[in-house]
Amino acid sequence: MQSTLMQGGMDLMLYGMGTVFVFLTLLVFATAATSSLVQRFFPVDEPPRIPSREVPAKTPVPPDILKAIQTAIDRHRHRH
């Protein structure tokens, strides 16, 4: 009796694991197929490029703000 119970448990385990494996495999293929269909029929438009001459020039940071930033960084590094 013990042998049949163990055999039944093993059969049930293998059946369940096989079912889950088949389902997940089908899910991967379905996701890949759906992704390729969406990319084919609804392509992503590339964002417009900003010409480099239209980029605003950087404004210089005042020296007192640079000193405050450097002091904060130094305090943070020496605290640890």
Sequence letter at residue 11? D
40-71: pLDDT as tens digits? 998 888 777 777 665 566 778 888 999 999 99
Q: What is the mean pLDDT of the chain?
A: 88
Structure confidence at residue 44 (pLDDT): 82
Residue 61's SS3 state is coil
Task: Tokens 């640890």: give the residue.
Answer: 80
64 domain-assigned:
no
15 occurs within a structural domain: yes
Largest Cα span, the chain? 87
What's the number of domains the chain is made of? 1
What is the pTM for the complete model shown? 0.49
Confirm whether 76 is domain-assigned: no
C-alpha closest to that of 12 among 1, 22, 4, 2 = 4
pLDDT number for residue 55: 54
- The answer to whether residue 70 sits within a structural domain is no
In a domain, 16, yes or no: yes
Q: Which domain holds residue 26?
A: 1-44
| The pLDDT of residue 11 | 95
